[in-house]
Amino acid sequence: MFLTSRSSKNSSVWRKPIAIALGVHFAFCAPNAYSLTPELTEEEQKIEVLTNEILHKEIDLERYYLHYRKIGTATPKFRRLRYFLLQVASTSSTLASNVILTDVAKRGLKGKVTDVGRGDGEIEDSGGRGTDNTTGEVRAGLILALVGSIVGPGSSLIELCSNGYTAMKNLKERNNPASALKNVVGRIKEIDALLEQRKKLIDEHPRLRALAINKAEHIVLQAFRDWCISEFVEIYAEAKSSQAGANVFYALDVAQGSCASAGNILALDSLHPGRDRLAGPAANISIVSDGINVVNAPLSYYIGKRMNGYWAKRVRQKLSDRLLAGEPEAKKAMAQLNTVVAAADDGALGVSGAIQGRVAAYLMWSQRCHAIAQKQEVELRHRSKVAAQGRLMGPLLGGAGLAQDILSATTFYGVGDNDRRGASLNYAGAITSLSGNVASLGYTNANFVGEILHRKKLRAQGLLPEQLLEERFRMLNQIDKLIGDRDITDVQLR
């Protein structure tokens, strides 16, 4: 009796905690442990598998063309520094030449009329004017000008060869534009084939329990496919056009340097006795050189812009026979899917597989891409500003040299025996060219320092192009994890 009473008392003591534990268990665990999850039909399982496979392939497509962008738009190591140093050396040499020739022309205005073309010997005083023999000084100035005309365009020749080497290397490693386009075309065909299978399953089974969700998600998959194509077209066209524009700039710079060197060599030859007739042709060749310099920056920009439109149009025709949708259509399709999912009953959601994970993936994909695109605007605006400055400064600086060449040609062909007028024209041309080279040297240094400070600021904010690309790669890896069913370490970029 005593034992029975004690047992009952112990039972009453534990009854309440057990009841609470069971209540908590059924309240929080029952939905997962005891609810009946609808069994997927064979068609529903196929749609689920196809959906995940399509989405993974679209992620792989974006990952691939971002990898191509990283390689296709990469700047060779030390390019900025070596180009800057050689340009400064060239401009400094030309500036030193301007100083010497300006001094010679200035002395001509003071009655010491410049007399060149008669060798380095003493010249007899003619008419009591006190003529100086300045041949040695002019020769020194022209030699410095020749050095500048070789070093500056030589830096462009180095970069042109560097671009050629990089293009050959990318071709060998199948990172060239043609290989990238072929790769993307193959990936698009695979995605389109899977989309067609999925659509066929949906059309052949109109009584699917999650039909509305399946149809809405199909539109999203199609829209994200088009969005990827649209972005690849921009990347491909940018890579091709930027390469074309840069190569045109470097080639024209080499051409103008060749003309400038030829002009300087002729001018040096004209200093020898009886060869002064070559001064005119030297000025004419220099006019061609500086004329190229005037149009170089605007022309290379124009060609790059035209090539961008050309390649974008060509790639669109290659990848698709219809107008590509892009980001706005993808966001519209995603909003419609959210509406359908929110209105769906538990049964439809139960047979939709990992629809909620995929909706989260779509949302992350859309929002992160938009956010990163906004961050890229900082660098795009900076590039646009620098390009606009180059298109303005190029003609101005080239125009200063062109003015000197025209005045030199006028002195030779139009002045005749009027030494005073010739000295005035030479002095005006020398001052103009000197001013242009001072401005060029200042602009080159300011541009280089400004670029360093700009990149330092972007790096601190995580806004460098390479940093934003890495952010995109991390985002794609996170989306892969949200969807599941794969190991992202096995992703292949080729």
> Is the pLDDT confidence value at 61 over 90?
yes
CA angle 255, 258, 262 (to 5 degrees): 145
For residue 364, count CB atoms less than 10 angstroms from its CB and return exposed for 0-12, middle for 13-18, buried for 19 or more. middle
User: What does the alpha-carbon distance between residue 108 and residue 401 come to, in Å, rounded to a whole number?
Assistant: 21
pLDDT tens digits, 96-111: 999 998 888 887 777 6
pLDDT band at 483 (very low <50, low <70, confident <90, very high): confident
Split at pLDDT 50, 70, 90, the class of 260 is very high
For residue 410, pLDDT beyond 60: yes
Phi, psi of 469 (to 5 degrees): -65, -45
Model pLDDT, residue 120: 39
* Cα 392 from Cα 298, distance rounded (Å): 8
What whole-number distance in Å separates Cα of residue 78 and Cα of residue 297? Answer: 22
Give the residue extent of every domain in the chain.
Answer: 38-203+216-325+389-447
**Is a pLDDT exceeding 80 seen at residue 404?**
yes
Using DSSP, state whether 115 is helix, strand or coil.
strand
Residue 347, amino acid? G
Tell me the pLDDT tens digit for each residue of 425-456: 888 999 999 999 999 999 999 999 999 999 99
pLDDT tens per residue, range 164-195:
999 999 999 999 999 999 999 999 999 999 99
For the stretch 345-401, pLDDT in tens is: 887 777 777 888 888 888 888 888 888 888 888 888 888 888 888 888 889 989 999
Q: For residue 367, what are its two tokens?
A: 């929002």
pLDDT at position 131, please?
A: 47
* DSSP line for 3-66: HHHHHHHHHHHHHHHHHHHHHHHHHHTHHHHTS-PPPPPHHHHHHHHHHHHHHHHHHHHHHHHH
pTM: 0.82
Q: pLDDT by residue (tens digit) across 195-249?
A: 999 999 999 988 888 889 999 999 999 999 999 999 999 999 999 999 999 999 9
Q: Is the pLDDT at 2 greater than 60, yes or no?
A: no
Indicate the SS3 state at residue 286.
helix
Q: Which residues of 320-346 are buried (b: 16+ CB within 10 A; e: fewer)?
A: beeebbbbebbbebbebbeebbeebee
Q: What is the pLDDT of residue 416?
A: 61
